[in-house]
Amino acid sequence: MHLLFIAQGIGVATVYYGDIEPDFKEGIKFGIRGHYLKPGTLQPAPDECGANSAWSWGLNCAIDYFETDKRIDSKRMALFGVSRLGKTVLWTGARDMRFKMIIASCSGEGGGASSLRDYSENIKHLTDASHYFYQFAANDHSYASRIHEFPVDAHMLIALIAPRPFYLRTGYSDNWSDPKGEFLAAVETDAGTSVFAMNVTVDSFDDLKNNVRIRLTKDILRELKLSNRIETFGRINLLVPKLPSSFVYFPPLAYSIK
């Protein structure tokens, strides 16, 4: 895959997140956060960042370097991550506008999936002391038993990336990562991103198949088929991000059925 990119003049760089902070409970002792603990403390305060933010900081440092390398067009950099690093790239994209496209795969809870759905991997599981509590601020766990009081959700995180394009990609059967929750978060983001998108109307499945600018993933096609309202297809408005011609085109952010 890397060779295919390189053949098109696209460079590929990888970052090993464990070099920034190891991905286990005691990783703070060996990672960047351990250098910034308050004197006399062994763990961050409840409102201080977790390992996920440390990994995100490392990506900020990577693009700091790329901006100094004249062989690299630092104005056209995309960021890709899977699973916990899918969460990381979304957080990084929200904070660092220098990344021009964000691709998050299987990011699930704490990433692109709606926390308020309380489905599959949820806040309670993710932040439990026996699991991944160290990846997030400790305050996150305080909502484990009161999720519906959670003041933020995935669509707010995703909206911070707009108007830059992003792609949420999770397998349809990957219930642990909750692809439907990611999809719904993208739909909720619609209200905040539609002003930055082109409204493309299609009238048939042939339009979907033939229009290269509207390539839907199987996930979204399956979602469309779940609705009786589109038995005769109807009119579907697809929010298609405005991408520079130099970018590879990814599927639309969301759809709405009239």
User: What percent of the chain stands above pLDDT 90?
Assistant: 46
Mean pLDDT of the chain: 76
Pairwise pLDDT comparison (220 vs 8), residue with the higher score: 8
> What pLDDT does 6 receive?
78
| pLDDT tens track for 50-102 | 999 999 999 999 999 999 999 888 888 999 999 999 999 999 999 999 999 99
> What pLDDT does 1 receive?
57
Determine whether domain 2-195 maps to CATH 3.30.2130.10.
no
> What pLDDT does 9 receive?
82
User: Which amino acid, residue 22?
Assistant: P
Lowest mean pLDDT among 171-180, 186-195, 223-232: 223-232
CB 251, CB 215: distance < 8 Å: yes
d(Cα 165, Cα 60) in Å, to the nearest integer?
Answer: 19
User: Which amino acid, residue 102?
Assistant: I
CB 150, CB 113: distance < 8 Å: no
Mean pLDDT, residues 160-180 taken together: 85
Angle between helices 51-66 and 84-95 (to 10 degrees): 60
Q: Residue 109 pLDDT more than 90?
A: yes
